[in-house]
Amino acid sequence: MTTIKLHNTRTRRKEDFAPLDPDNVRMYVCGPTVYDRAHLGNARPVVVFDVLYRLLRHVYGTEHVTYVRNFTDVDDKINARAAESGRSIGEITAETTQWFLDDMAALGALEPDHMPRATQYIPQMVAMIEGLIAKGHAYETEGHVLFAVDSWREGYGKLSGRSVDDMIAGARVEVAPYKRNPMDFVLWKPSSDDLPGWDSPWGRGRPGWHIECSAMAHELLGDSFDIHGGGNDLMFPHHENEIAQSCCAHPEGQFARYWLHNEMLQVEGKKMSKSLGNFFTVRDLLDQGIPGEVIRFVFLRRHYRKPMDWTMQKSEEAKKTLMRWHKATREVPAGEVPELVLNALCNDLNTYQATDVLFRLESAGNLSGLKAGANLLGLLTPESGAWVQKEEEEEKANISDNSAFELEVDAVLDLRSKLQQRAKAALAEKEQDKKEAKRLFAAADEIRNSLEKMGFELTDTPDRPKWSIDHGALLQFMELPMQGEVISFRSFEHEQDLEEHGDRFAGVKKQLRSLSDGIRSAFPELDL
């Protein structure tokens, strides 16, 4: 059996992963609070733990792995969003839950085996709270039920490496007067008539955030399970509180044995913030035409325990790489997952090293290995390749349109050359027709002037005229010969500029065709 090594946040060291039951490997990952679109930072843990899920299934078998990721659909943020929008809480949570599922599917994430919603497990939460009160780990006060941190001082803070005394001393927020200890946290709180609420032994109310995950994890995975994951920002207080209430409610179990946390994400070297204008949702990037597979690949190019910097340059490089790999492996069956790829992933989910191996496989011409290794990472799958086909179809359409444009330019230059040839012929005759030659040269010059006004640059050479076009920041076309090969616009490097200045480019084409038509209509008068 392949050995997987994982860095356990709880022990601060890399450990051999030994599941409680190899036939039933269990993992819980904290999911989103559903009140808005998932931003880029929300997506990173989804991709990280999707890769771990794929690795566990590869090693232990698809039917022997259970993955749970929850939805928090009862929360003060949701209540506030409903109040400000005038919509019902049910509408908001249903809509944003589907948004999340659609966006994560676009990133190539497999759906977990269970996706519980907090509101579906209120009875289990109430039962767990009752058990904590009975065991002396919780108390009721003023309609609230709070966990008594002092009842478990020996365990509280070990995950995050904090002591209770230090946390109390460093407290900066105003402490509710009904708390026995400033670190005590809410298990249940009262609800007014205008807020969601459920009947309970302590009156109508709703659960605290932390108890939700503990109750759902216990219901679906038991007293003890293998892996608990989430973003680094959840380590304290959320995960710390989960451990406290779960271990006290079910002392016979261990709750989660391996804790994994991914580091945070920034954008273009700065913390993602709406005030800085660098805040992106996943949907923002997808709507900008950045494929979900590209976003995924950028994530994989950084180890999950290292901070990640999202940049547009990285996404452009990732897109080029994936396009190349898709085309190279399209007709190639996937082989066995290369040992080097598997070893990298088994070494604390080192996706950066694994993707480096993919580049080496490409260089070595091992395309079946490249495809198999990429598939394990959730890349180059049949589902993920739709964007490549779309890009190719658009490219073909652009080539057709742009080739017609190039031919139009060449046709105008061909007409100009004929005018010049006729003028030279008039001068070469025994009885030189200088007036006719002047008229023809003037017409040729007018064509040149018209083209230059449009942004064309013409160069007369001994062999053939050449042209280029410069719209300032638009794009620099390659010089083309008057006759012969037509060079595809695919060779131009500034596609983004072309897109940004597309209206101007379309205007140039319209002017050029008008000029061409005007010259053709004038030819009979020039006896051509």
Confirm whether residue 238 is marked as ligand binding: yes
Confirm whether residue 500 is marked as ligand binding: no
d(CA 216, CA 124): 8
Pairing between β-strand 138-141 and β-strand 65-69 as defined by DSSP bridges? unpaired
Confirm whether residue 248 is marked as ligand binding: no
Half-sphere exposure of 154 (CA within 13 A, CB side): 3
Q: Which residues contact 295 (CB under 8 A, 6 or more apart)?
A: 40, 43, 107, 282, 285, 286, 315
DSSP, residue by residue, 170-202: T--SPPPTT-SSTT-EEEEEE--TTS--B--TT
In eight-state DSSP terms, residue 523 is G
d(CA 174, CA 165): 17
* Tokens 């008594």, located at residue: 148
CA 54 to chain centre: 18
d(CA 24, CA 4): 16
Least Cα distance to 205 among 191, 193, 216, 194 occurs for 191
Torsions phi, psi for 6 (to 5 deg): -130, 140
Q: Please, are residues 148 and 186 in contact by the beta-carbon 8 Å criterion?
A: no
d(CA 40, CA 403): 39
Least Cα distance to 229 among 51, 21, 72 occurs for 51
**Sign of the Cα pseudo-torsion (466, 472, 476, 477, in order):** negative
In eight-state DSSP terms, residue 514 is H
Confirm whether residue 213 is marked as ligand binding: yes
Q: Please, are residues 37 and 283 in contact by the beta-carbon 8 Å criterion?
A: yes
Q: Please, is 55 exposed, middle or buried when counting C-beta atoms within 10 Å of its C-beta (0-12, 13-18, 19+)? A: buried
Confirm whether residue 30 is marked as ligand binding: yes
Rg over alpha carbons for the chain, rounded to the nearest Å, is 33
Q: Please, are residues 143 and 202 in contact by the beta-carbon 8 Å criterion?
A: yes
Dihedral, CA of residue 155, residue 158, residue 160 and residue 161, to nearest 10:
130
Question: Three-state SS string across 23-34, please?
Answer: CCEEEEECCCEC
DSSP, residue by residue, 153-175: TTTTTTTTT--HHHHHHT--SPP
Binding site feature residues for ATP: 274
- Binding site members for Zn(2+): 30, 213, 238, 242
Q: Which residues are annotated as a binding site?
A: 30, 213, 238, 242, 274
